[in-house]
Amino acid sequence: MRDGGRISAAIEILADLETRRRPVQDALKDWGLTHRFAGSRDRSAIGNLVYDVLRRRASLGAIMGNDDPRALVFAAYALQWGKGLDGLAAAADPADRHAPAPPTPAEAAALTAATLPDDADIATRADLPGWLVPSLARVFGDRLETEGRALAARADVDLRANTLKADRDAVLADLAGAGAIAATWSPVGVRVPVGPGDEKAPHLVSELSFKRGWFEVQDEGSQLAALVAAEALGPAAAGSVVIDLCAGGGGKSLALAAALGDAGRILAYDNDKRRFGDILDRIARSGASGIEVLDPGRGDPLAPLAGSADLVVVDAPCTGTGTWRRRPDAKWRLAPGALEMRREQQRGVLGAAAQLVRPGGTICYITCSVLPEENEDQVAAFLAARRDFRLEDTAAALGRVAARPLPETTRVPLGAGTAARLTPHATGTDGFFIARLRRAD
């Protein structure tokens, strides 16, 4: 396909999203099934264009004075992809029957000016849902626009070297051809930078080193969260009992197993077995022998574990606001009701974790959210209700596991302890919140 056809496809997919209000992955998949002539490079370019529009939908619409799919795609192609008005006009070639109609004079003028209106509000400038600005301003203050723009950027591909089978240097050497570099903060992290425009990201899961279990795809922030959790066990890691309470596909369980040298017993649980996905295949590939998956469909597998866990990892259900770089459609689909539902689920899972952890044990509460309602507020409410728990200096723990000193903005003072916050702007990771809660002996 030529670029004109790709632009038309992106417009069609975005129109479908507006009409049917569904996840972008579903719309992209359906388009691919009904347009089988499109090759993998075409589908990748179209997906990139759609995602880039969704990342900056508010500011692109303001620049164009129009937020219909055609205007947004034109702006993304000309401005974000650096093609300019001339490049767009060339792509919209009337001789190409798959291309869109050429830019109108009004569209051409908007793209030539390429500026936001003087009265654009902070939500537009930072590409944020307006209803969330007060919450995010609580967290970021005068950094709100900068942090919002970082949340609207493309994310690189992050990998975790599985130290049960290979060290980071071996993974770096194996993936040198893909441009792999050492991650900044995680001592086991590897990053593969993602290029601009229609550049296709490497398909790393087809590498033999992946199939051999040398690495897993995992955001660097998630890696750090797992290392902070594992560090709570200290020298008592061997023989410890760890419950991964919201295990999902097992990313944290696998990272914990590697961090503990496969010395602990890790029990992976999720109340919806559909979220496990390919967890058993991942465990087998990793070489971890200490992970056991608990079946939620067989009675209550957690009941016999009450008061026995040295560490309970709560990778809590959340709005996922910290992952907007990777899931930009979620930014615009999120509604106040969904936030309140997640907060209720978080309260429930924290209560369950408190029943499972032994005296002297630790809960590590983790979200991939940057909203205070899901983070500081939840921890403060939990501590107020459970006087037998205290918040540790989580930021100091993060500093101990990181490969180098972290920015001061990662430190979140909260009562007598600290939590830790990672963000795309501050640390180049997804947004994460981490709080270690120690139960009294």
pLDDT digits (tens, 9 = 90+) for 341-390: 999 999 999 999 999 999 999 999 999 999 999 999 999 999 999 999 99
Angle at 349 between CA 325 and CA 432, to 5 degrees: 25
Q: What is the pLDDT of residue 202?
A: 86
Is the pLDDT at 292 greater than 90? The verdict is yes
pLDDT-derived band at 201, boundaries 50, 70, 90: confident
Quick: pLDDT tens for 214-263. 999 999 999 999 999 999 999 888 889 999 999 999 999 999 999 999 99
Quick: pLDDT tens for 75-99. 999 999 999 999 999 999 999 999 9
Task: Taking residues 26-39, report their average pLDDT.
Answer: 92
Quick: pLDDT tens for 392-409. 999 999 999 999 999 999
Q: What is the pLDDT of residue 370?
A: 98
- Tell me the whole-structure pTM to 2 decimals: 0.96
For domain 157-217, give its CATH number from 3.30.70.1170, 3.30.70.141, 3.40.50.300, 3.30.70.260. 3.30.70.1170
DSSP output for 187-249: TTEEEEPPPSTTPPPP-GGGSHHHHTTSEEE--HHHHHHHHHHHHTTGGG-TT-EEEETT-TT
User: Would you say 270 is a known binding-site residue?
Assistant: yes
User: Would you say 315 is a known binding-site residue?
Assistant: yes
Quick: pLDDT tens for 55-80. 999 999 999 999 999 999 999 999 99
Strands 215-217 and 189-192: unpaired
Please report how many Cα atoms fall inside a 13 Å half-sphere around the Cα of residue 174, on the Cβ side: 21
If you average pLDDT over every residue of the chain, what do you get?
A: 96
Please state the domain extents for the chain: 3-116, 157-217, 220-439
For domain 220-439, give its CATH number from 3.30.565.10, 3.40.190.10, 3.40.50.150, 3.40.50.740. 3.40.50.150
Q: What is the pLDDT of residue 198?
A: 87
Q: Is 246 a catalytic residue?
A: no
Q: CB-based contacts of 16: which residues, under 8 Å, 6+ apart?
A: 27, 30, 31
Q: Are 420 and 395 in contact (CB under 8 A)?
A: yes
* First vs last C-alpha separation in the chain: 65
